[in-house]
Amino acid sequence: MDHWKRGAPGEAGAFKSSHPPKPSAKELKRLRVRRHFLDAAKTLILTDGLDQLSTKRIGEMAGYSYATIYNYFENYNELVCEAVEELALECGEFVTESLADFPQAGVKDRVLELARLMVLWNTENVNRYYPFLSTQVDFSYFFARDGEHFFHPAYRLLLEELSRLDLETLEMSQEDLATLTDILAYVFHSKLHFFIRYGVPRTQVELLDEVCREVSFLLGRLG
């Protein structure tokens, strides 16, 4: 669960060991300035959408010259990717906290609720999920940084819930469990894609209904 094990994303390197060295004043300043840029980028993505984002606007909001960004980030794509990762973590936190309060203990009820929360969060403000659809973001940044591809934290939460299924009774293998998790993730991803990009279905209520029906169908067919 790599995206969770790290501290704040983008600052992982500085705090990796269990006894992190005290960061120098210079390093603290670097992290602080990066934070200003990241917060500005996140605010702008959430309010106006990723397509309206620019170094100029980020600089203005953060209170620095746009050129300063390149002293703190390798390039614009790094800044965007780090901001987008934090938005995904916020979604993961919302789902985790809401599920902790969810009284149902049954796997199917909890997975349905997870699906509902995931779709709810990302459609209350569609700017939250849009970056994962944008072909303007180069996600290979994460592979270069971590040696593995980015995955949305909701995926691991889903896998955790499904891991409580009684595989023996359901005549499912561990591979089947992974396959089911993947298919559910495709449902979330595609539904959000079609809703955000094509306006299908037309309302959030219809979308939630459809996702609920699809997830119920998948879980209902398990036995």
Name the site residues for its own copies (rule: CB under 8 A): 51, 130, 133-136, 139-140, 143, 149-150, 175-176, 179-180, 182-183, 185-187, 189-191, 193, 197-200, 210, 213-214, 217-218, 221-222
Q: Which is nearer to its own copies, 74 or 182 (CB)?
A: 182
Closest approach of its own copies to the CB of residue 35, in Å: 27
Q: Which is nearer to its own copies, 22 or 149 (CB)?
A: 149
Q: Which is nearer to its own copies, 160 or 210 (CB)?
A: 210
Closest approach of its own copies to the CB of residue 201, in Å: 10
Closest approach of its own copies to the CB of residue 78, in Å: 17
Closest approach of its own copies to the CB of residue 214, in Å: 6
């509902």: which residue's tokens?
116
Q: Which is nearer to its own copies, 34 or 152 (CB)?
A: 152
Are the C-beta atoms of residues 78 and 141 closer than 8 Å to each other? Answer: yes
Q: Which is nearer to its own copies, 91 or 187 (CB)?
A: 187
Closest approach of its own copies to the CB of residue 171, in Å: 10
Which token pair is 130?
A: 């849009």
First to last CA, the chain: 29
CA torsion angle 34 36 38 40 (round to 10): -150
CA torsion angle 146 130 5 160 (round to 10): -120
| DSSP line for 61-112 | HHTS-GGGHHHHSSSHHHHHHHHHHHHHHHHHHHHHHHHHT----SHHHHHH
